[in-house]
Amino acid sequence: MRILVTGGSGYIGSHTVLALLEAGHDVVVIDNLANSNQESLRRVGEIAGRSAEFLQVDLLDETALDNAFSSQNVDAVIHFAGLKAVGESVEKPLYYYHNNVGGTLNLLRCMERHDVRTLVFSSSATVYGASEEVPLVEKLPLDAVNPYGRTKEQIEDILSDVGAADERWNIALLRYFNPVGAHESGRIGEDPTGTPNNLLPFVAQVAVGRREKVMVFGNDYPTPDGTGIRDYIHVVDLAAGHLAALDYVHSHSGVHRWNLGTGKGSSVLEVLAAFSAAAGHEVPYEFGPRRPGDAAVSYADPSAALADLGWSAHKTLQQMCDDHWRWQKENPLGYSS
Ligand code: WQD
């Protein structure tokens, strides 16, 4: 199939573009490069032995978006493009609603005009809010607790309404847990701009000497070692989940939701131990206060994805850290190394 991938030069996008190319699909990426580097796609082409087409398009530019669909014979869309920093979304809610929700509305209306109604949407476990009811299952009520999470929840609601109104739509909503790691080649990986919000890229930058130490946000949680527990999933496993979902919705109409997680939780201290083993030296850290809004424990029940898609995550936390470290060590400054 010919797949249009929005946000395809980003971290999860580039790994998914690679998996699509290796599976024999043709790919066209649209990205505004606001938060990613086109170098990722050049390297994806190197690894895959063939390249995706690239169009620098902002989803808020309806004319450019329409031209992109007119010039490409698209069979389906995987929609990653969006802003995703929780803290920034609290400071700039309008920016987030305009970009994430407004951009998605432009995309959906453009798809409809061009008779393209197969969509895989990059949602997030953040739509479950600070639910302590673990493992998290798809039928749980959604209760996002920050503007970023609410944009994902609202887009899920929009897509549910679109699917209910017109059965020609085939839609997958994929709720990611905590994507980490990198392709085994070490050539593509996570390259956050500015100070990383998430644990793994911060730990990796400390391990490679770009930052002094990791601040552990709270060690008084009701967990075995007192630190927060999350469901870390290897980005390569996550990419495979997109291909499985794409295959499914290609032949099943309606709106479908799946958690993409391992079903296992790991604490911050367990991540630090695994990353230190990967790097071959201790990653310095100290305990600090809890981060507001953080749940103590969050991990997926991934059984629906296994039952419906035949998909499950295979890579271990150690493999995630080994692969993340290889990328960081070989690209200390990310794509601008
Ligand atoms: C993981 C654990 C922190 C940084 C976020 C978003 C969510 C999704 C995934 C997009 C927690 C602890 C972190 C640090 C720390 N993103 N931590 N020191 O918060 O589970 O989820 O990323 O969809 O929307 O909310 O991930 O990596 O920020 O935190 O101790 O410097 O690491 O307290 O327990 P989180 P995270």
Q: What does the pLDDT look like over 91-124, one tens digit per residue?
A: 999 999 999 999 999 999 999 999 999 999 999 9
Ligand 1 centroid to Cα of residue 228, in Å, is: 9
Among the atoms of ligand 1, which is closest to the Cα of residue 152?
23
Ligand 1 atom nearest 126 alpha carbon: 24
User: For 297, which DSSP code?
Assistant: B
Rounded to whole angstroms, how far apart are CA atoms 318 and 312?
A: 17
Q: Which of 203, 193, 179, 201 is nearest to 126 (CA)?
A: 179
Average pLDDT value for residue range 310-335: 97
Residue 300 is given by DSSP the state: B
Structure tokens at 52: 């995706």
From the CB of 144, is ligand 1 less than 6 Å away? no
pLDDT digits (tens, 9 = 90+) for 145-154: 999 999 999 9
Specify the DSSP class assigned to residue 333.
Answer: T
Ligand 1: which of 230, 231, 266 to mutate, most ligand atoms within 8 Å of CB? 230
Name the average pLDDT for the chain.
97
Backbone phi, psi, residue 79, to 5°: -110, 100
Decide if 250 contacts 179 (C-beta within 8 A).
no
Phi, psi of 58 (to 5 degrees): -100, 130
Query: Is-contact 120 80, C-beta < 8 A?
Result: no
Mutate to test the pocket of ligand 1, among 11, 232, 259, 291 (most ligand atoms within 8 A of CB): 291
pLDDT score of 212: 98
148 as an active site residue: the answer is yes
Flag whether pLDDT at 3 surpasses 80: yes
pLDDT tens for each residue of 28-80: 999 999 999 999 999 999 999 999 999 999 999 999 999 999 999 999 999 99
Section 119-139 average pLDDT: 93
pLDDT in tens, 218-233: 999 999 999 999 999 9
Assess whether the C-beta atom of 223 lies below 6 angstroms from ligand 1. Answer: no
| C-beta of residue 223 within 8 angstroms of C-beta of residue 267 | yes
- C-alpha distances in Å from residue 308, one per residue of 134, 173, 252: 21, 13, 11
* Structure-token pair, residue 150: 């609410």
Place of tokens 């991540």: 271
CB 82 within 8 A of CB 146: no
Residue 132 banded pLDDT, cuts 50, 70, 90: confident
CA distances from 152 to 33, 301, 314 (A): 20, 19, 26
| Closest-lying ligand 1 atom to the alpha carbon of residue 268 | 32
> Which residue has the CA at smallest separation from atom 11 of ligand 1?
228
pLDDT (mean) for 128-139: 90
Res. 306 pLDDT band, cuts 50 70 90: very high
Positive or negative torsion for Cα 231, 159, 239, 106: negative
- Say if residue 185's pLDDT is above 90: yes
Beta strands 2-6 and 229-230, pairing class: unpaired
pLDDT above 70 coverage of the chain, percent? 100
Between the CA atoms of 19, 300, 93 and 161, what dihedral angle is there, to the nearest 10 degrees? Answer: 80
**Residue 199 one-letter amino acid:** L
Position 157 scores a pLDDT of 98
What's the rounded mean pLDDT across residues 82-88? 94
From the CA of 288, how far away is ligand 1's center (Å)? 15
